[in-house]
């Protein structure tokens, strides 16, 4: 979880990623951020995030991202 | 509650329609101070419809023939269903419509329009067609006349055409929104001014002089219509020297008349010697149209032919005609007086749609 | 059939009557029939293309769906017997088969689009190269007439098949329903580009006569007519004068043209979409919005989220994300990180994907270099502003202006002019001419012409300008007023007389001030003595 927060903070240091639950809905992170995020996440966790998973539910909060990573790691 | 809603909607719709109809009347050009030709077709409907002769055709009938003269000299009643650049199919449909209202003895058609096989100008279509009452004939005429960019619906609802006058609305549009004053004398548009014939260029040589199929189609239709309604059709070439009337064209009409057992008279041939038209005095635009004196001369000559060869009656002693035509004659001479006054005062007919122009504008016709 | 034509109005009226008379279960079928009738007005032969797209997509989706079912059954039946690895392998196999169907379908349909739309362009370019290399020959030019809406329906349909492949939703079993989704007539002319799951409910369900819906739909249609006829078609005259005569209208006129075009395009495009959405609404069908007050955007990225929204969404969903997070891209990114360092490496997916997407966006708009250049310039501006973000951050940390009215105004103005500037490539249709015109803005000082009546020489009179100004102000007002609640909803709360008065005034202004029909030209009557 910390790695995720670290990566997120690297993108937008001014945002409080621990509590925010509307990252996508409020446009706090945009499409470019998502791509960079995914790039960093797959680098960090050595996983592959398929396009189908790029939906608001999976990226609206750090927790959601965490859940996504867990699930993908499991399926591996 | 629902009924109430529906009622409200119906009322609102009626109101909207009323406003739109009012706007339509407002926006339609009134043709009072300019281009009086626009009123010609419309003026027929309020007439007492008993005429011995009906004239159809273009300006060569509405400028060259005077029904009041026909009445005064021969007691023959007539009406000119003419309009600017009236095309032959428009003449046909106007005739068909007229025959719904009355049965004249004779119909006279000026054959100049045979030269136009296709629709020509939207502006002239409007001058002729807008004045027609909505009828099967009007629809037929519209369909035959429409140019590429025209839509039938804009003739049914002319607001769709004239809305673009929104920044051109003049005082006269308001003044005449409920009704207009008469401008013609049974379809004759009076002009007393004079502009002598200058140089008339001879028609340029053409590759093919034959009239188009569409023109013949309507000419035949007209002949058939007259035959079916027991009406005598006379084809004429009015004595206007311009546009140029080719001998090849003349021959085609001579042939047609012969084949269909119709009378054809080319009045150009007898204009100067027999009718007595003096082209330096009797035209107001250099030969395209006759003025009042020219029209009266021509009408008198033609009237004699109508009386003797076609046995048209003399109604001058009949009561029901006398009062109607007395008013018409009064109106006629009053306008003549007024026009002569204007001519003296301004040098040109200011209130009668004349433009203070120096050139007769028709030379780009050919 | 144009939206603003008598035929279209008649078409919708007749369809409306039939739609609410027939039994509700036939309504969607009627819409399908109507859409094909609408389509055939553009040319009966062109139906073949949309039918080919429908059929090929249906077959592909059916096969993909079939494979999905086979997979589900197999995995269920063999729940116990399979190991993790075996499951994965099996799934991968099925996926491969599905991908094959998908690729076939996409190649076929994008292929049709590519051939019809870009053959001429390609040949012209090859010929230019030939001429450059002094090769004697030239390939004869082949020009095709495009079937109506092909750019829109192809993209919409391909979005559908990709979604089916991604198992976003099950495929549509009824080919006729799919056919309606593809050919639904309000969307054919200029979108919006819909997603199947957005339309599925509303398109095929029963629609009862709902006075509120219909009233809203009609209002929306009227609004679209107002924008198109009163503003767009009127301004078009002036825009064309400037743009078709680049040698006569330079310097300040280029800016005037830019500004006018910005308004004209907005009125025309959003007006057309209003009519499309309004017509659908009249039949009880809700389409997605395509514009959201785009000229109030504060940055170019925001602009592209508010202008032609459905196109942007399509490109993001089906091109940007797939490319930027694909395995090959991430691998490339990894290698770049090793060679060039982290900073560059992690930019690779975003940048490459952006460039590809914008190149394609440009190409989608038209088969000409000016569109491609336009696309790439948009891309350039986006990426540059992306790079400048830390700079902006520092500026805003120093000077606390970010949320002031004036700074926001500056942002809006900046975005507006930047986008208008780029859009000029659309106007002159020629890259060289466009840049030459940009140049004259700085080299030719003819500002005084604006104040000397230059604007009256563009084909519009003073009264036209007055109408335009009033109409644009009105559109602006409605736009701003709709920020919280839709304008129609607000209107619905007002008293009856006010509502009906508004409708009246709108209808009358369209009828009177609309720039449609044969103009009354008094000069035609000068030689009226005939």
Q: State the pLDDT at residue C110.
A: 96
Query: Over 70: is that where the pLDDT of C64 sits?
Result: yes
pLDDT (mean) for B180-203:
90
Number of domains in chain A: 1
Q: State the pLDDT at residue C87.
A: 84
Spell out which residues of chain A touch residue C168, defining contact as CB-CB under 8 Å.
Answer: 52
Mean pLDDT of chain C: 90
* Among candidates B63, B84, B161 on the partner chain, residue whose Cβ is nearest the Cβ of C517: B161
Tell me the pLDDT band of C77, cut-offs 50, 70 and 90.
Answer: confident
Q: What is the distance between the alpha carbons of residues C124 and C143, in angstroms, rounded to a whole number?
A: 11
pLDDT (mean) for A55-59:
88
User: What ranges make up the beta strands (E) of B281-363?
Assistant: none
Answer whether B161 sits within 8 Å of C496, measured CB to CB.
no
Answer whether C530 sits within 8 Å of B362, measured CB to CB.
yes
More confident residue, B301 or C2: B301
C495 in contact with B, Cβ within 8 Å:
no
Q: Are C46 and C182 members of one domain?
A: yes
pLDDT tens per residue, range B311-361: 898 999 999 899 899 999 999 999 999 999 999 998 888 888 876 644 334
Q: State the pLDDT at residue C525.
A: 41
Spell out which residues of chain C touch residue A54, defining contact as CB-CB under 8 Å.
Answer: 321, 325
Q: State the pLDDT at residue C56.
A: 96
Q: State the pLDDT at residue C330.
A: 84
Query: Over 50: is that where the pLDDT of C485 sits?
Result: yes
Report yes or no: C250 and C291 within 8 Å, Cβ to Cβ.
no
Chain-centroid distance of CA B233 in Å reads: 17
- Residue C1 inside a domain? The answer is no
- Residue C277 inside a domain? The answer is yes
- Residue C2 inside a domain? The answer is no
Q: Tokens at residue C289, please? A: 């919005």
pLDDT (mean) for B98-109:
96
Q: Are C59 and C190 members of one domain?
A: yes
* Among candidates A31, A42, A54 on the partner chain, residue whose Cβ is nearest the Cβ of C330: A42
> Sign of the C-alpha dihedral, residues B278, B280, B282, B285?
positive
pLDDT (mean) for C390-411:
84
Q: State the pLDDT at residue C329.
A: 87
Mean pLDDT of chain B: 91
Q: State the pLDDT at residue B356.
A: 60
Domain span including residue A50? 2-75
| B57 φ, ψ (degrees, to nearest 5) | 145, -165
Domain span including residue C354? 294-444
> Percentage of residues in chain B with pLDDT exceeding 90?
76
Answer whether A32 sits within 8 Å of C386, measured CB to CB.
yes
Please tell me which residue of chain B has the smallest CA distance to C510: B163
> Sign of the C-alpha dihedral, residues B284, B289, B290, B296?
negative
Query: Over 70: is that where the pLDDT of C510 sits?
Result: yes
Closest approach of chain C CAs to the CA of A68, in angstroms?
15
Answer whether C519 sits within 8 Å of B160, measured CB to CB.
no
Q: Are C395 and C310 members of one domain?
A: yes
Q: What is the ipTM of this complex?
A: 0.92
Answer whether A39 sits within 8 Å of C330, measured CB to CB.
yes
pLDDT tens per residue, range C280-289: 999 999 999 9
Q: Are C314 and C455 members of one domain?
A: no
Among C401, C423, C444, which residue terminates a domain? C444
Residue A44, phi-psi category: left (phi > 0), alpha (psi -120 to 50), beta (remainder): alpha
Q: Which of B30-34, B126-130, C377-381 has the lowest mean pLDDT?
A: B30-34
Tell me the pLDDT band of B152, cut-offs 50, 70 and 90.
Answer: very high
Tell me the pLDDT band of C523, cut-offs 50, 70 and 90.
Answer: very low
Q: State the pLDDT at residue A76.
A: 64
Tell me the pLDDT band of B67, cut-offs 50, 70 and 90.
Answer: very high
Q: What is the distance between the alpha carbons of residues B69 and B48, in angstroms, rounded to a whole number?
A: 18
Q: Are C167 and C243 members of one domain?
A: no
Report yes or no: C291 and C231 within 8 Å, Cβ to Cβ.
no
pLDDT tens per residue, range B208-240: 999 999 999 999 999 999 999 999 999 999 999
Q: Are C383 and C322 members of one domain?
A: yes
Closest approach of chain B CAs to the CA of C95, in angstroms?
56
Answer whether B149 sits within 8 Å of C525, measured CB to CB.
no
Q: Tokens at residue C398, please? A: 């120093």
What residues are paired with B57 via a beta bridge?
A: B82
pLDDT tens per residue, range B244-278: 999 999 999 999 999 999 999 999 999 989 999 99
Answer whether C321 sits within 8 Å of A43, measured CB to CB.
no
Closest approach of chain C CAs to the CA of B164, in angstroms?
6
Q: What is the distance between the alpha carbons of residues B207 and B209, in angstroms, rounded to a whole number?
A: 7
Q: Are C402 and C337 members of one domain?
A: yes
pLDDT (mean) for C393-409:
83
Question: Is the backbone peptide bond immediately before B243 cis, with ω within 30 degrees of 0?
Answer: yes
Q: Are C328 and C364 members of one domain?
A: yes
Look up tokens 């079916």; give the residue: B228
Spell out which residues of chain C touch residue A72, defining contact as CB-CB under 8 Å.
Answer: none
pLDDT (mean) for C361-383:
93
Chains that touch A (3 or more CB pairs under 8 A): C
Tell me the pLDDT band of C402, cut-offs 50, 70 and 90.
Answer: confident
Q: Which of A45-49, B153-157, C468-472, C519-523 has the lowest mean pLDDT?
A: C519-523
Q: What is the distance between the alpha carbons of residues C368 and C120, in angstroms, rounded to a whole number?
A: 10
Between the alpha carbon of residue B131 and those of residues B80, B82, B188, B308, C8, the distances in Å are 14, 11, 16, 35, 28
Q: Are C436 and C470 members of one domain?
A: no
| B230 φ, ψ (degrees, to nearest 5) | 60, 40
Q: Are C127 and C172 members of one domain?
A: yes
pLDDT (mean) for C191-210:
93
Q: Are C183 and C52 members of one domain?
A: yes
Please tell me which residue of chain B has the smallest CA distance to C504: B16
Domain ranges (residues) in chain B: 36-116+180-351
pLDDT tens per residue, range C142-192: 878 889 899 999 999 999 999 999 999 999 999 999 999 999 999 998 889
pLDDT tens per residue, range B289-322: 999 999 999 999 999 999 999 989 899 999 989 9
Mean pLDDT of chain A: 85
pLDDT tens per residue, range A15-42: 888 888 888 888 888 888 898 888 888 8
> CATH number for the domain including A53?
1.10.1200.10
- Residue C392 inside a domain? The answer is yes
Q: Which fold has domain B36-116+180-351?
A: Rossmann fold (3.40.50)
Answer whether B12 sits within 8 Å of C524, measured CB to CB.
no
């Amino acid at each position: 979880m910390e790695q995720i927060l670290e990566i997120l903070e690297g993108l937008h240091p001014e945002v409080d990623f621990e509590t925010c639950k509307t990252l996508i809905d409020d446009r706090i992170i945009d499409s470019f951020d998502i791509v960079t995020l995914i790039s960093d996440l797959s680098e960090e966790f050595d996983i592959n995030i398929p396009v189908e998973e790029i939906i608001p539910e999976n990226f609206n909060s750090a927790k959601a991202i965490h859940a996504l990573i867990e699930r993908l790691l499991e399926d591996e | 509650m629902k009924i109430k809603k529906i009622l409200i909607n119906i009322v609102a719709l009626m109101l909207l329609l009323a406003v739109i109809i009012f706007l339509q009347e407002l926006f339609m050009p009134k043709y009072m101070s300019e281009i009086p030709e626009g009123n010609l077709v419309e003026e027929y409907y309020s007439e007492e419809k008993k005429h011995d002769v009906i004239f159809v055709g273009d300006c060569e009938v509405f400028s060259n023939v005077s029904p009041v003269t026909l009445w005064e000299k021969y007691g023959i009643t007539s009406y000119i269903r003419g309009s600017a650049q009236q095309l032959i199919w428009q003449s046909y449909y106007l005739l068909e419509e007229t025959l719904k209202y009355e049965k004249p003895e004779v119909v006279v058609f000026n054959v100049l329009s045979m030269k136009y096989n296709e629709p020509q100008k939207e502006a002239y279509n409007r001058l002729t067609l807008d004045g027609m009452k909505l009828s099967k004939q009007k629809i037929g005429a519209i369909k035959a006349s429409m140019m590429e960019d025209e839509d039938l619906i804009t003739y049914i609802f002319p607001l769709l055409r004239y809305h673009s006058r929104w920044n051109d609305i003049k005082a006269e549009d308001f003044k005449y929104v409920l009704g207009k004053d008469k401008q013609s004398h049974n379809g004759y548009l009076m002009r007393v001014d004079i502009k002598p014939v200058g140089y008339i260029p001879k028609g340029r040589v053409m590759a093919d002089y034959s009239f188009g199929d569409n023109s013949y189609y309507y000419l035949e239709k007209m002949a058939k219509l007259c035959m079916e309604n027991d009406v005598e059709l006379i084809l004429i070439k009015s004595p206007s020297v311009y546009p140029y009337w080719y001998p090849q064209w003349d021959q085609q009409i001579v042939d047609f008349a012969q084949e269909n057992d119709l009378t054809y008279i080319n009045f150009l041939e007898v204009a100067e010697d027999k009718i007595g038209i003096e082209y330096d005095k009797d035209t107001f635009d250099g030969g395209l149209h006759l003025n009042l004196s020219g029209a009266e001369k021509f009408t008198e000559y033609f009237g004699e032919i109508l009386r003797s060869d076609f046995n048209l009656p003399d109604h001058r002693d009949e009561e029901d005609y006398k009062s109607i035509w007395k008013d018409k004659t009064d109106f006629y001479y009053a306008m003549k007086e007024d026009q002569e006054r204007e001519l003296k005062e301004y040098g040109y007919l200011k209130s009668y749609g004349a433009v203070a122009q120096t050139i007769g504008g028709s030379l780009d016709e050919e | 059939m144009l939206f603003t034509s008598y035929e279209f109005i008649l078409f919708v009226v007749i369809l409306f009557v039939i739609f609410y008379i027939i039994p509700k279960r036939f309504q969607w079928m009627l819409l399908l029939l109507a859409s094909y009738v609408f389509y055939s007005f553009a040319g009966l032969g062109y139906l073949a293309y949309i039918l080919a797209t429908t059929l090929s997509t249906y077959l592909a989706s059916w096969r993909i769906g079939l494979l999905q079912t086979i997979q589900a059954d197999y995995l269920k039946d063999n729940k116990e017997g399979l190991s993790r690895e075996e499951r994965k392998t099996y799934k991968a196999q099925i996926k491969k088969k599905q991908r094959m169907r998908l690729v076939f379908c996409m190649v076929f349909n994008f292929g049709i689009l590519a051939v019809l739309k870009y053959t001429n362009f390609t040949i012209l370019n090859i010929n230019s190269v030939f001429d450059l290399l002094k090769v004697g020959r030239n390939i004869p030019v082949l020009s095709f007439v495009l079937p109506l809406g092909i750019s829109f329906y192809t993209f919409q349909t391909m979005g559908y098949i990709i979604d089916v492949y991604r198992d976003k939703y099950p495929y549509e079993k009824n080919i006729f329903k799919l056919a309606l989704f593809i050919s639904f007539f309000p969307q054919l002319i200029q979108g919006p580009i819909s997603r199947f799951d957005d339309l599925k409910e509303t398109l095929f369900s029963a629609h009862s006569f709902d006075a509120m819906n219909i009233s809203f739909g009609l209002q929306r249609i009227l609004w679209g007519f107002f924008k198109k006829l009163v503003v767009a078609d009127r301004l078009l005259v002036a825009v064309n004068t400037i743009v078709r005569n680049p040698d006569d209208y330079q310097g300040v006129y280029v800016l005037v043209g830019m500004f006018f075009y910005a308004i004209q395009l907005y009125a025309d495009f959003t007006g057309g979409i209003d009519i499309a959405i309004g017509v659908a609404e009249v039949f009880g069908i809700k389409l997605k919005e395509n514009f959201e007050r785009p000229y109030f955007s504060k940055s170019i990225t925001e602009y592209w989220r508010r202008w032609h929204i459905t196109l942007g969404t399509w490109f993001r969903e089906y091109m940007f994300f797939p490319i930027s997070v694909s395995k090959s891209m991430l691998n490339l990114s990894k290698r770049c990180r090793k060679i060039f360092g982290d900073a560059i490496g992690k930019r690779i997916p975003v940048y490459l994907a952006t460039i590809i997407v914008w190149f394609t966006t440009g190409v989608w708009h038209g088969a000409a270099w000016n569109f491609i250049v336009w696309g790439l310039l948009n891309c350039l501006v986006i990426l540059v502003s992306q790079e400048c973000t830390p700079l902006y951050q520092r500026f805003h940390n120093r000077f606390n202006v970010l949320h002031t009215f004036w700074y926001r105004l500056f942002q809006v103005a900046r975005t507006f002019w930047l986008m208008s500037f780029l859009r000029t490539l659309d106007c002159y249709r020629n890259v060289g001419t466009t840049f030459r015109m940009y140049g004259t803005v700085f080299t030719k000082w003819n500002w005084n012409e604006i104040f000397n009546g230059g604007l009256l020489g563009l084909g519009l009179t003073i009264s036209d300008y007055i109408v335009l100004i009033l109409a644009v102000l009105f559109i602006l007002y409605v736009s701003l007023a709709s920020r919280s609640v839709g304008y129609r909803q607000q209107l619905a709360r007002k008293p009856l007389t006010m509502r009906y008065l508004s409708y009246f005034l709108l209808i009358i202004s369209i009828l009177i001030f609309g720039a449609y029909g044969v103009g009354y030209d008094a000069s035609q009557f000068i030689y009226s003595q005939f």
